Each structure stands twice: as structure tokens, then as C-alpha cells.
Amino acid sequence: MDDMKSKVHLQKVDSYSIEKIEAFVREALLVIDEKNSLFSTGQKVLLKPNLLRGFGPEYCVTTHPMVVEAVCRVLKDFSVGQITISDSPALGSLEAVAKKAGYDPLKKKYGCKIVPLSDPIPFKNEEGVPHLKIAGCLSEFDRIVNLPKVKSHCQMAMTLAIKNLFGLVIGKRKPILHCLVKNDKVKFGKMLIDIARHVNPCLTIADGIEAMQGQGPIHGSPYPLGVLLASTDMTALDRIAAELLSFSNVYALEAAKLKGYGNYELEKIEISGVENLSSLTVSDFEPARAMDISFNPYRIMKSFLKQFYEVGIKEKRDAFN
């Protein structure tokens, strides 16, 4: 075996069965973490799912709570000290979005904290994108586990492991950064790579049991892809997912290849869990209709007003009622 190869573990999992998902996580760790070095007693672990908007899991906008729960179960067996779930939703507070996504039971069952990202700090990136700040609170954690949802994306073709870490840019800085790259999708992808290098999650487990096709990342429709993927190399994982979906032009992957981040070439990726990748490849997954990456000023202002209404008025009213 070539030591330079990246390992990607994937399996056919056709339903959100906690037993099946937990078995996948355990098997993936046996394959990927042969030295049993990723997790240990007392660690503080941050789980970064996709909690983009407040939708129930059946809409496939967010990482399914069963995937997060399976990871919690396994981490508890490693006697980690604290599990924290966090993200920066595009609309709504983290508390409200996580509740709608079905995450609330995890707090009582596993002692998880669901805590908003905090302490935005300047981040110097190779692409020279100004005003880029990410959550400074990341330094509080010993390990970060990336838990993306497999989705089509109207601006970046596909959102998965690499793109999911953009959620660590807090709040309404995200649409501003979309504009600052001047609709250069590869440049935006390179910025994502800079973030990925900095954050460096120890493990990625991707929820592709029910993926989102069409006009993702929000307005698409469920697609029964029926797979889970895991790797320590986000580029390798995204590349295998792109192969499964028959996607040939994914901007984050193009950026990863240009910046030499992770293993992009298939011959440098070792696949486990299935004998033949082509057995899981689909040809009818609907891609998103391409849109510019930049938001016009009207759309940004509308987004700010919607966030003010959602958090400042609607959530408080709903809690009162």
C-alpha cells in the first residue's frame, strides 16, 4: 500500500438507522485511524454539521441528527470530556435552527452543548481576501469533526466537506465575502482551501443517505443517494463524492488541485467499504442551475432585515407563545 494515499471509507446505507450509522462510524475509524490516535479521554470536541437554515431533517438542508447522534455515541466511548455542536446559520439563531433540525435531544442524551460560534478574529489568507474573519473560539477545542451534508450548490456546484467549513465564518460576513471575490468562483474556492488548512478538522463524515439535488443548498429536493463517506482528507472525500454524483466541475475541488491541498487524483485515493465505486455511482442526480457567486446589494440588505426579523422578533414571539 502506498503511504501517500488518502483513505476514504464509504458504504451503502439506505436509511437513517442509528445502528447502521453508528456501525459505519466505528468501521470508518478502524480503517482511517489505525493507531487509535484521533480521540482520547477528556478532550473537548467540536462537531461542525451543516445547520444552514431552520428546516426539519426531511428537507435535506441540514446534516441529519442521526448522523450527529451516531458520532456522539462513538465519542462517548472514547470518554471525551465535552462535545459541542456549533455552526453559523444563514438565517435564524443557532438554537432555533438546531431545534428545528432535530438536535435538541442530543443535549440531554449525551450532554452535548449547542453553542453559537464566537470571537471572530482576522484570518490572513493566501488569496488576500479582505475582511475575512473566522471563529476564534475554535482554539478552545482539541479536535474538530466536520459533518457536512451532500448537496448540490447553485454557486459552487457542490457543497460538501471543504465548503461546509465556510460556516465557521460568523454571521453576515459570508455574503459580503461572496461579493469580495468578484464572482471568481475558483478564487472563492481557494479562500475555502485557506480556511480548511487553518481549521484542519481531524475527521470528516458526510451525510449522503438523503442528499439534496437541484437548486441547493436550500431550495433543492431530496435524493436517495444512500451513502455515508468518511476521511481525514477533505479533498479526497469531496472528489469521491463528485465521482458518485457524476460531477466534473466542482470549484472547491479545482481550487484544492491548484493549491495542492489533499489528494485530488483518484489513483492517490484508497477506497474501502465497497468493492467497486461504480456500483454506487448515479447518473440522474440533478445539478443546480448555475448562479453568480456575488450577491447584489439589495439581496444583502434583504438578508440583514430577514435575520433581524427572525432572531429579534419571530423567535422571541414563538418562544413566548
Per-residue pLDDT tens, the chain, 321 aa: give them. Answer: 346 899 999 999 999 999 999 999 999 999 999 999 999 999 999 999 999 999 999 999 999 999 999 999 999 999 999 999 999 998 889 999 999 999 999 999 999 999 999 999 998 889 888 878 899 999 999 999 999 999 999 999 999 999 999 999 886 555 555 455 567 899 989 999 999 999 999 999 999 999 999 999 999 999 999 999 999 999 999 999 999 999 999 999 999 999 999 999 999 999 999 999 999 999 999 999 998 876 555 554 555 456 554 556 666 666 655
* pTM for this prediction: 0.91
How high is the pLDDT of residue 309?
A: 47
Can you say how many angstroms the Cα of residue 55 is from the centroid of all Cα atoms in its chain? 16
243: three-class secondary structure by DSSP: helix
> How far apart, in Å, are the Cα atoms of 38 and each of 45, 54, 68, 127?
11, 31, 17, 30
> Do 234 and 287 contact (CB within 8 A), yes or no?
no
C-alpha cell at 161: 466537506
User: Cβ distance 74 to 83 under 8 Å?
Assistant: no
Torsional sign, CA 190, 135, 167, 63: positive
Q: What is the pLDDT of residue 305?
A: 56
Amino acid (one-letter) located at 220: G
What pLDDT, on the 0 to 100 scale, is given for residue 125? 87
Question: What is each CA distance from 185 to 19, 81, 166, in whole angstroms?
Answer: 39, 39, 14
Cell numbers given for 188 = 472563492
Q: How many helices (H) and strands (E) does the chain have?
A: 11, 13
Strand partners, 152: 158
CATH fold group of domain 6-296: Rossmann fold (3.40.50)
Residue 250 CA to residue 255 CA, distance in Å, equals 9
CA 122 to CA 133: how far, in whole Å?
Answer: 4
